Structure 1
């Protein structure tokens, strides 16, 4: 299993890029999972449903299973947030994990940058950035692909992804 991240400031288009990149990788025969970091409280459960009742009643983990999918929710209940490496260990094996967010972690990343966003580049300060997907070329000599060239971004992702043990 290899890992590549998509890192950038809010509004750069990471989620939009992810939605276009995943089908392109799948079309190449690459099995992909994702991890998304949220900076705020979020909920994947529906209030009033049985799984929500279990979780609200104090369960540390709640698994929901059906013929179409299963999901495991874990409540930290005051425990520290697990790091990226620990989260990766929870995934079933795939060819590639694409991480959105975790921009301060040391896994290899593609910087997603949009000039109109008015934010600075991340790559001068982050040595884990291996390539750039942007609407403008970076000043640094990093591999670059236009945000509209999904095939080229897929190539960058596959070329720069590494196993977690390597970072």
Structure 2
């Protein structure tokens, strides 16, 4: 599996870019999965639902399944947060995994940037290009934040998938 990240500070446009890239790249015939890092506690079920009641009762894992999807919830309690590598090992094989967040990990990334946020660039050595709503002088490729097809071309080329479906 090839891995490519989308990073940036809050309100930089990461999630929108991820959504557009998944749509664009999968429409080209590639299989795509995503990993999203959350810096806060999150929940996929709700108080009163059966799966919530199972976890509240002490279940270590709860697998919720239907004919359309399944979700495996694993309680971490006092364990350390799993690494990106450990999480990737839980995914079924696909052509490309797009990762939102995990900006300190070593996989290649594109950085989303909106000028109005006033945030500095991350721009470390793992950032191969930028998707921005303004001009940047960074010595690396800079794409318009909404140039999804061009960004997808760059990502697919950077991971060596560009030629597969030609």
Instruction: Please tell me the TM-score bracket, short chain as reference.
Output: over 0.9
Q: What is aligned with 2:127? A: 129
Instruction: For 1:137 and 1:31, locate their aligned partners in 2 and report how far apart those are by CA, in whole Å.
Output: 32
Q: What is aligned with 2:82? A: 82
* 1:137 shift after superposition: 3.0
Gaps of 5+ in 1: 163-167
Instruction: For 1:60 and 1:7, locate their aligned partners in 2 and report how far apart those are by CA, in whole Å.
Output: 31
Ranges of 4+ aligned residues in structure 1 off by more than 6 Å: none
Instruction: For 2:136 and 2:61, locate their aligned partners in 1 and report how far apart those are by CA, in whole Å.
Output: 44
* 1:161 shift after superposition: 3.3
* 1:159 shift after superposition: 2.1
Instruction: For 2:140 and 2:70, locate their aligned partners in 1 and report how far apart those are by CA, in whole Å.
Output: 40
TM-score, normalised by the number of residues in structure 2: 0.92
Q: What is aligned with 1:113? A: 113
Cα RMSD over matched residues? Answer: 1.2
Q: What does the per-residue CA deviation read over 1:54-92, in whole Å, with 9 as the maximum and x for residues that have no partner?
A: 111111111011111111111101100001010000001
Instruction: For 1:161 and 1:37, locate their aligned partners in 2 and report how far apart those are by CA, in whole Å.
Output: 21
SS at 1:23's partner residue?
helix
SS at 2:63's partner residue?
strand
TM-score, normalised by the number of residues in structure 1: 0.92
Matched, 1:4 2:18: no
Matched, 1:42 2:50: no
